[in-house]
Structure 1
Amino acid sequence: MTATPAGRGLFLSFEGIDGSGKSTQARLLAETLRASGHEVVLTREPGGSPGAEEIRRLVLQGDPDRWSAETELLLFTAARRDHMERTIRPALSAGKVVICDRFADSTRMYQGLSRGDLRGIVDCLHTLMIGLEPDLTLLIDMDPDTGLTRARGRQGDEERFEDFGPDLQKKMRAGFLALAQEYRARFRVIDGNRPVDAVAADVRMTALRMLA
């Protein structure tokens, strides 16, 4: 895996289908690293900056057909640009560890693959407007049916995508695993079909190797 540039922090992202437990694992890793003396910024997408949080409310709630895939893609890219400018790059420049719950790989899957076959456009916009990839992406792999059951039982603001149903979950899981092969230098796949503590131990060990 490519080393982090000197004088720059470390950028970690968590990916996975809805209900995979990635948000819990991102939080637990942040707590662990802070306890070890690291400066950590825990953030999320869409969101992570005031402007991006406003866009989050637009794209994650309402009728599943509220936006076309193309419109979603533009909204997510706008949110990511603001997030990168105001949160991620300043933290990395200050030498901090940035842990992000979802990043561009989710857009490659949700809008690029599952919502509209727009992967080429997703990558083009990412190159033009973002130009940043995580140093390490932790994919929490989860059985799609289990993940959807978990997602529907929680309190949150992602109802719109959960309403697309189990077929999307299955397509998304396959897509994420394919993405892990495409970007194998930065992806690590973690089995999420286990107790939270067991998953957290693997996440912690993987992240600490990057910080050694």
Structure 2
Amino acid sequence: MTIESTTVRKAKFVVIEGLEGAGKSSAIALVRDFIEKHTGQAPVCTREPGGTPLAEQMRDLVKVANESDPLCDEAECLIFYAARAQLVANVIKPSLAEGKWVLGDRHNLSSLAYQGGGRGLMPLVSSISEATLKGFKPDLTLYLDIDPKLGLARAANRGALDRIEQQELAFFNRTRATFLSYADNDDSIMIIDASQSMAAVHKDIIAVLQDQAW
């Protein structure tokens, strides 16, 4: 079922997730165009961490390594949720309330996978997630699944890796396993095989979008 502007009753929150090198940027552009075509308006696009002036400052804290004062795992987790709380309160919820669709480059599933699974902080992540989001979640999440070795090789070809992208392979294997575990248990999370060609990935994404009962 395609989204028709005459039948849209409620603005939706759609999120793109995936490991490094999964092709999120091109997927986001594709979904943005799809939403605009089928609703008649461009979605509000966000990224995490970031998306507000204060949240963007927090993004710098977790993306850039500081050798004189290394960011500990717990602090990393707290910063991600502080940035997310700002974004949800000041951009995402107000936009949805105004009838504007929101397209997110990452959201809470990333923290569950990276900090919860990758860092081994699931009890902390779960408790902070509940306290800050209170059950708020995307209407649809497209998870671009890729083997970490392939994804990191693609990411390295883009240029220098940031602090998180430089983690060991085992970290990304744990993160991927957590992504897949949540996707297997949540009907709002759709898995896309990101190891395919870009054309095949985009075809699968469009098929998922057209199949949604918006």
| Percent identity between the two aligned chains | 34
- Are 1:197 and 2:193 an aligned pair? no
- Provide the aligned length of Structure 1 versus Structure 2: 204
1:105 corresponds, among 84, 103, 109, to 109
Structure 1 position 63, deviation (Å):
4.8
- Are 1:165 and 2:173 an aligned pair? no
Q: Which runs of 4+ in 1 moved over 6 A?
A: none
Structure 1 position 171, deviation (Å):
2.0
Worse-matched range after superposition: 33-42 or 103-112 = 33-42
Structure 1 position 150, deviation (Å):
0.9
Q: Structure 2 matches for 1:76-87, cutoff 5 A?
A: 76-87=80-91
Structure 1 position 196, deviation (Å):
1.3
| Structure 1 equivalent of residue 145 of structure 2 | 141
Equivalents in 2 of 1:123, 1:26: separation in Å? 27
| Structure 1 equivalent of residue 54 of structure 2 | 51
Deviations 1:67-121 (A, max 9, x none): 1111011101100000001111111111222111111111111111211x22122
Unaligned runs of 5+ in 1: 1-5
Worse-matched range after superposition: 186-195 or 147-156 = 147-156
Q: Please tell me the residue identity of whatever aligns with 1:179.
A: Y
SS in 2 for 1:138: strand
Equivalents in 1 of 2:98, 2:208: separation in Å? 23
Structure 1 position 127, deviation (Å):
1.3
SS in 2 for 1:161: coil
TM-score, normalised with respect to structure 2: 0.87
Equivalents in 2 of 1:153, 1:49: separation in Å? 29
| Structure 2 equivalent of residue 91 of structure 1 | 95
Deviations 1:162-181 (A, max 9, x none): 11132222222222111212
| Structure 2 equivalent of residue 209 of structure 1 | 211
Equivalents in 2 of 1:46, 1:211: separation in Å? 29
Equivalents in 2 of 1:8, 1:49: separation in Å? 24
Equivalents in 2 of 1:86, 1:203: separation in Å? 29
Please, what is the CA RMSD of the aligned residues?
A: 2.0
Equivalents in 1 of 2:58, 2:9: separation in Å? 32
